[in-house]
Structure 1
Amino acid sequence: MHGTLPSDMGAGLPMIRYLLLSRNLFAGGVPPSLGNATMLHVIDLSVNSLTGTIPPGVGRLCPDTLAFDDNMLEASSAQDWEFITSFTNCTRGLRLLSLQYNLLGGELPSSVANLSSQLQLLYLSANEISGKIPLDIGNLAGLQALKLDYNQFSGSLPTSIGRLSTLKLLQFSNNNLSGSLPSSIGNLTQLQILLAYKNAFVGPLPSSLGNLQQLNGVGLSNNKFTGPLPKEIFNLSSLTDDLYLSYNYFVGSLPPEVGSLTNLVHLYISGNNLSGPLPDSLGNCLSMMELRLDGNSFSGAIPTSFSSMRGLVLLNLTDNMLSGKIPQELSRISGLEELYLAHNNLSGPIPHTFGNMTSLNHLDLSFNQLSGQIPVQGVFTNVTGFSFAGNDELCGGVQELHLPACANKPLWHSRRNHHIILKVVIPVAGALLLFMTLAVLVRTLQKKSKAQSEAAPVTVEGALQLMDDVYPRVSYADLVRGTDGFSLSNRIGTGRYGSVYKGSLVINNATTIVAVKVFDLQQSGSLRSFMSECEALRKVRHRNLVSVITCCSGYDSNQNNFKAIVLEYMTNGSLDKWIHPDQGGQSTDPVGLTLMQRLNIAIDTCDAMDYLHNSCQPPIVHCDLKPSNILLNEDFGALVGDFGIAKILRDSTGDPSNMNSRSSTGTGIRGTIGYVAPEYGEGHQVSPCGDVYSFGILLLELFTGKAPTNDMFADGLSLQGYVQAAFPDHLVDIVDPAIVAAEENYAHDVHSGTSNGPRGQNNSVMVSVTGLALLCTKQAPAERISMRNAATELRKIRAHFIRQ
């Protein structure tokens, strides 16, 4: 809709309570007559083209929610901010005030600190507000989110900010703030996001940052912070998203405590004055995707432990003082796309194993002291995006590099080499021949032993050996007591190989609610499933994979074999029960999952699969990705479970798209009808591409509410075809109605702060997500996107959705 808002709308609608006109094309000013509609509870005029100032009478309305963000509203004087002062006289508490993305200027009145103590969300980002942040901002005791970024605030950050004890989000980036970061910020123990980049803060970081045990992301780049990096910030195990400390004046070494950030995805410490060796403990950061340490003075060798960061996509060590050889172990990071090692003192050859890094598309080794031949195989056949300048002793490589050919020195060119052949090579070759003969003999004996052992029951000791000694031991009797005799009232799920029960166990002297997966050993393949799941679960550690607590392998009260796995309990059950509550689901939410919650679930699932495919060695293929195998915790975070038919690719060639060879496992089709990749039905070998296909089906189901086995999909019609027919112009006709209901519910309850996403249905999200899902479900495996790239695309979709 467009045009101007009626000037008398407030007088003509005196009883109106909800005025929701966001995301239109309304122009002109906000009608002053709105001040007469004293019953207004929620006013949302955001994302229009409104101009002028906000009438003072608006402040007399005392609404619960006022959202004028993303317009062209102005302010330049105290009079223009009068509506803020009027709000302080309200007896009914304002909970949300959003004025971000406007042209509001001048100074923020100090009266803002006198707003209702019930105010939870105050958004003033992206305006032209100048002057100081009011000293008594800490009076807003109920505040959960404060966004002051992208303005022109100056002066210091008030110490009173430490009184905002319920604050979860604090943003004051891109301002002109100076002085030190107050130590009182350590009192914000509920804080999850802290963004303060692009200011002029000075001095050391307060050690009190170590008190923020809920912190997920920190942005402190582009300031003038000095001193050493506080060890306390590296002990925050809660950091899962970002830690940005680049372009400051930090000195000293990178503390070994950095290895405690095992869940961190992005670490940027570029452009400081840090020195000393890089700590080996960095290899413990198993979730790391981007590591930027360029522009410092780090010295010594590149730690080989970096190869443990199997999920790494970008590594930048440019412009340091690193020496020694480039570790060939870096080639184990199979998903690495960008590697920058320029302007160091590295020597020796370029590891030929780098040619096998199929994802590598940017490699900068310029201005070092490298020597020898540049590899010509694998990724080195196309050197677009590769740089080797400033290494005078490099030779060879592909023709495009225009480097001199390497000198040819035959092995037999000297008497010394002749002696080496006689004294070293021949004895070694003989030893290898003997070793290979013994290996064949051992392999033959192993096959015979395996054939004899497959029929034998697994002992308690054998299962615990699979699960390692660090897992607590539980008995059959413990599980009987904890599940009330495996009663039906405690059964929370059934599957192909058994049932899952809710129970309680005393573990490490504490009572813990758990999920107990009991295997039906009368079912063919159940024992193999138990062993497969034990083996897979003991190899994986990721925030989006269900954690195993222990296993139980023994005998029941009738002396029958008994096998069970004890897992962490997920409060919100399986995703399947939330997508299909009318099919026996146990959802307690009458409107289901919001669009943002579904996006987050998709990203969590994608991250878990990316970890299995690219960060585990050897890689693991789940083979049964579907909504019933995705569990939701109390925050609706998604965790992938059920590894009963997972395949560990011990003989992986490193090329997941190579589907030409037939599987020789003899296990038949791996997966569930509707989700299983089509190539498995043709006998092709298991590969990560099969999981990508299943994920694509899951995405379609998540956003349409239709299972691939729905009765409507008959006579050649499939879920993919159903979506393809509506793509992209008619997706609104097939979107899950529960999403619409959830978004409408959010529009009415936006002030509560409990919703997980922006208001309103966003068709562009559906277009982007379904387009990605259709790419995942391509018939040919080689045409499908990888899980890593799918996760990147989903994060872009979420970021765009949030900005809207």
Structure 2
Amino acid sequence: MTTTTLHIPLAIFLLISIQIHFHGVLCDDKYALLSFKSQVSDPHNSLSSWNSNSTICSWHGVSCSNNTNRVQSLSLTQLDLSGNLPCSLFNLTSLQSLDLSCNAFHGHLPLELSNLSLLNVIKLAANNLSGTLPSQFSLLHQLHVLDLSLNKLSGQIPPEFGNLTSLNILSLARNYLSREIPTELGNLHNLSQLQLSENYFSGDFPISIFNISSLTFLSVTQNQLSGKLPPHIGHSLPNLRRLDLANNSFGGLIPFSISNASSLEEIDLTHNEFHGYLPLFSNMSNLTRLVLSNNHLSSRPSGNSEFFDSLTNSPKLKILMINSNQFVGELPKTIANLSTTLEQFCVSYNSFSGSIPLGIGKLQNLVSLSLEGNHFTREIPRDIGSLNKLVNLDLHKNQLSGEIPDMFGNFTQLFILALHNNNLFARIPSSIVQCQRLNYLNLQMNKLHGTIPDGIFRLSGLTILSFAGNTLHGSLPSEVNSMQQLQYLDLSNNLMTGHIPKEIDGCTGLLMLQLSRNNFSGPIPSTLGNLESLETLDLSSNNLTGPIPSTLEKLRFLVKLNLSFNHLVGEVPQKGVFMNLTQVTLQGNSKLCSPNKEVAERLRIIRCVKGKRHDTRFLLSLILAVTGASVLCFSIFCLVWKRKKEKKDEKTSFSISPLKGIPQNISFSDIRRATNNFASENLIGSGGFGFVYKGVFSINQRETSLAVKVLDLKLSKASQSFVAECEALKNVRHRNLVKLITSCSSIDHKGDEFKALVMQFMTNGNLDRWLYPKDEESGPSTLSFLHRLNIAIDIAHAMDYLHHDCDPPVVHCDLKPGNVLLDETMVAHIGDFGLARLLLSQDLLESVTLGLKGTIGYIPPEYGVGGKASTLGDVYSFGILLLEMFIGKRPTDEKFKDGLSLEKFAAAMDENQIVNAVEAKLFNDFEWSTTPSSSTGGFRSEEDSSDNYDGSFRLSQRKAGECVAAVIRVGLSCAAEMPTNRLTMREALKKLQAIRQTLLAV
């Protein structure tokens, strides 16, 4: 018998099987639904109506057909149902719509979903039979809607889903699905909506899906997909209304044919790798939303007018965002002709230049205007004041100058005002106080002067207020207590005076209070202890007096307390934050003390003893004092006798800044004893002119570690280096400079000349040791991004002081990682001033050339051709150091040869390449610490699987990447080849401080 002869009995057999199945299992929809109910978890008893005593068509979520009373639709959304998808669902053979979205179903997508029709029965019946199945059976599929979004399903989409050819809507968004999207989905030729966003799909996106002409909605945002848009996309998807490919790795050009998809209403291609020129969108009269942010798109050679002019044909446009690309040139004046329905206009973080176009005030419905992170110059246009619907006005990080227009009277809805990091001057306009809904106000890092307008501190809705880095004066008023929502208050680096008002405890939501580098006086108010949420308190570098309030012990969330460089007195509190010494900085308060010896040493304060002494103890002390005086006299006699025996031509020591208790005229013998005869185990470094040892000196009956730099006088110009370092440091005082304690110019035990410098000892060695540890297991751990940024700011602080606050200015001439030393709290200090120059006058400056040129790789180009020592030469070295710290390669690395240098290497990279060039470990602490957990109130790790985690994590990575790129830009600006193109150290410092502020705000 042939195979062909079997077809007739096979068909009869199948028809009988189908008829039996209809009357047996498939027709019993009630049994299928009750089985489904028994296999899922129903925490809210939402399926209570599902019972045998009622008809299935009256059950919750069930809809039946009018003719057959078969289940046609099952909709069970937002019921918190969980468990695997029960197989009993696949017996609902008349089902046309299945919606189980917003639940907690888990496990893999069942293969049987692709067989929700008679085809399932026939496949099962035919498993053990010969012959083939006619392809016409695929026409029996009836499912039109399948929505399993917002669950916890995992695994991959089965290729068999391509058999569901009747599908109109397929939504699997916000699950944990992964691997490649099957090309078979391109067979769904009736599909109108495909929603696969917020999963973990990877690989190239199937081109076949772009050929489904019926598609009106396509969203695959926030996956790991790659590939290119086909050139014919505008022709193959004529009905497409929404295209959302954001947060993937799509690349290539945006096809010019996309403008032929005239039905498009929304386009979102943000956070991809598209490059090249933008297509024109002239045919898109229905366009309402165009978001192309965070790609590598660039301006046309002819300028930006064509692109913006093409959008004037989109009268419904509401959102236009092209931020974080590579556009250059000016914004055309024709942006004033864009749709009057425009609500969001964002071109931030490009390289637009010129002035902000006049006429922007015509866009009367603007809610958000974001122009930050460009190179806009000149004044802020006054017609912006007519945009009375503005909620967000962000112009920060440009080069805007002039006065801030007094235009805020109409801004009744303004929520965010960000004008920081510009060159704005004059006074803060008083009309800002009329913005009663203001939540974020940042004017830091400008050139504003005068007083803060009355009423600013009555804006009770503010959460962030920063005027740091200006020259504002006046006092902090008591009305600050009305700002109960305030979380960040930064008035640092101004000229503020008066007392810190005790009413400040009314700011009950404060997390950070920064008042450093002002002229505040009087006591620290004890009411600060009532700010229970406070995490950072910095009152350093003021004129505060009196004791540290013990109420500060109550601040259990305090992470950083800096009260250094004031005139505080008395005993330091012992509890709370004061138990964690790494969180407290008190140096520069000479009258603070602690009864605890270890605490006093760590905080760099004196030790105090409490309580009254008994008569016997007083008598004992008197006896000891007399005995000590006798011993002292005898010691002095011996010392004088010994000194007389030394050679007549012995030179006396030159004291720079003697530490209390150490003799100003320190001898060779003292140094020899402190270093254990210059033992090799005490050798901690070497330089161009000698060696550095750790020396243990007895000071005030206490052993103190100091660093001793011993000059090798056999080397040429070593004596000159000694004199240069003494001259440079004898009159300078800064917390980020290595403190020179004293010096010694004497004769050693062989009768040879001996010169040494005694300096502050740095527990954590130099920066070079941390950037390039020789032994990763036993060496220091990798410095995080924030650590490196803090160190860079410390260095910039010191160099700014040397260049701008010293008279005469000091040029270091040898800035490199080996000369940056780190103390026990990882605060950076600049040392080794052996090549330093004092710029005593312009005449002297013209006559001083660099006989000693510093270290190869860090020497500015002009020094190589006989250039004069200058502060801009130091700026170049700082720029190289900054690039090295974040790229992780020395300027002398083998990679930089054949004309390539560190700065050229950094300049050639775009923002994404910069992020990839730095060590991933730099961001470890940042990524964890910037992802808040709503459930715990703390922070969470990568294993946390809540819905918002991935988005927040990506956001933190992106913001960190932007900050890295910003640091690299500062480094490049400092390391410009021409000195006139370099920043000053003061400008570089301000930019780095602004980057840190941005980083912490994330």
TM-score (norm 1): 0.50
Structure with greater Cα Rg: 2
TM-score normalised over the length of structure 2: 0.40
Larger RCO, structure (CA 8 Å, separation 6 or more)? 1
